[in-house]
Amino acid sequence: MYGGNDLTTTVIVGGFFGDEGKGKVVSYLALKDNVKIAVRTGSVNAGHTVNWNGKTYKLRIIPSAFMNEDSRLLIGAGANINVNIFFKEIRETGTEKRVGIDEQASIIEEKHILEDRGNSYLSKTIGTTGQGVGPAIAERVRRKAKLARDIPELNPYLTDVAGEVNEAIEKGENVILEGTQGTFLSLYHGTYPYVTGRDTTAAAICSEVGVGPTKIDDVLIVFKSYVTRVGAGPLPGELSLEEAERRGWLEKATVTGRIRRAAPFNYELARKAIMINGATQIALTKIDIVFPECKGIKDYDKLSLNAKKFIEEIENKLKIPVTMIGTGPEAENIIDLRREKI
Ligand code: IMP
Ligand code: MG
């Protein structure tokens, strides 16, 4: 179903190891569609980059749809809040009046951050982002975590996120559930133990927010035109640093500043990710990095022959449509094919 004027509930999920460009895709949808509610899941280990109006935002907790002033911005019950980062980002984005946190979201404390850094197993062996997210989740599993409702400063923002979201869905309004990281960093389906502390797949995104599977119209899976990974763990087809640099694929991580490891687009991983997430559409980002002649193009017909071949190969092999194609860093640098293909 097309999300533009028809009204849908869409889950945005990462197809590889995170950093596929979910922030950019969500920000485009926010500008283009009439998004009533956008919910961010996950936590501050994930940085979603949004380039909008000549500014770059590196969002770690506020939904990437913030630029639509009519959107209500929510943080789900399954999320983990770093209180300082929350206040910093509502200031940066000017969204104080539109933000809500589920009262059961849990809190990252200083001790969790310390446990995730230094010489710890998490830091040294797994190569975590050091944000305290895994230890905060462990605390929650031990039933000793502080929740958003226990923090007086958060009181003005508290809400029942599941209630708000399900009411909007009931009314037929547009809702976006923004996942974080990628399928292969999932605690359940990823490359364990080299994974993050939670399930990152579409079903888990719904569960964190409190939306049942029958309410979802579309699962939009985001693939970058090549694969990157930060931290330890397997990366099939990994290129040498020199080769990645030669191809212009070297990136720096949003949260930690580490160099991302890189590999070519991987059909086997993509197929599995589509299966696990029940994906219905693909957003393919950064095609302009693999095919520089495509930078900034907004019209599919104007893409180079090689770029079109790549997109057709993806559709032939993966059997679901590529409905959005990212051609540059700005929120609007997208070829939107939803009208034609859905
Ligand atoms: P943690 O999520 O900080 O516990 O880190 C566990 C693993 O997931 C490490 O390999 C991190 O580099 C990776 N990771 C966590 N969040 C992100 C993300 O947003 N993008 C890419 N990798 C991530
Ligand atoms: Mg990222």
CATH number where 281 lies = 3.40.440.10
Containing domain of residue 134, as a range?
Answer: 9-341
Domain assignment of residue 244, yes or no: yes
Ligand 2 center to residue 59 CA distance, Å?
9
Sign of CA dihedral 86, 87, 92, 94: positive
Whole-Å CA distances, 319 to 170, 272, 325: 31, 12, 16
CB atoms within 5 A of ion ligand 2 belong to 19, 47, 254
Q: Indicate which atom in ligand 1 lies nearest the CA of residue 233.
A: 10
Residues 6+ apart with CB under 8 A from 143: none
- Atom 10 in ligand 1: which residue has the minimum CA distance? 231
Average pLDDT along the chain:
96
Active site residue 48: yes
Domain assignment of residue 2, yes or no: no
Question: What is the spatial distance between Cα 10 and Cα 323, in angstroms, rounded to a whole number?
Answer: 13
Sign of CA dihedral 148, 151, 153, 155: positive
Domain assignment of residue 239, yes or no: yes
Domain assignment of residue 322, yes or no: yes
Work out the angle between the directed axes of helices 202-209 and 267-277 (0-180°, nearest 10): 40
181: Cβ below 6 Å to ligand 1?
Answer: yes
185: Cβ below 6 Å to ligand 1?
Answer: yes
- Atom 18 in ligand 1: which residue has the minimum CA distance? 46
Domain assignment of residue 1, yes or no: no
At 3 the pLDDT is: 44
How many Cβ atoms are within 10 Å of 158's Cβ, its own excluded? 17
Domain assignment of residue 95, yes or no: yes
Domain assignment of residue 327, yes or no: yes
Active site residue 70: no
At 11 the pLDDT is: 98
Question: What is the spatial distance between Cα 221 and Cα 342, in angstroms, rounded to a whole number?
Answer: 15
Residue among 275, 273, 323 at smallest CA distance from 1: 323
> Residues of the chain whose pLDDT is less than 50?
1-5
At 2 the pLDDT is: 45
Annotated active-site residue in 48, 102, 218, 288: 48
Ligand 1 center to residue 302 CA distance, Å?
36
pTM: 0.97
Domain assignment of residue 99, yes or no: yes
230: Cβ below 6 Å to ligand 1?
Answer: yes
Per the structure, the count of domains in the chain is 1
Question: What is the spatial distance between Cα 285 and Cα 134, in angstroms, rounded to a whole number?
Answer: 28
H helix runs in 95-173, sequence order: 110-115, 121, 133-141, 161-170
- Atom 9 in ligand 1: which residue has the minimum CA distance? 128
Ligand 2 center to residue 171 CA distance, Å?
32
At 342 the pLDDT is: 82
Mutate to test the pocket of ligand 1, among 13, 129, 178, 255 (most ligand atoms within 8 A of CB): 129
The single-letter DSSP state of residue 102 is E
At 246 the pLDDT is: 97
Q: What is the four-CA torsion angle of 88, 92, 96, 102, rounded to 10 degrees?
A: -50
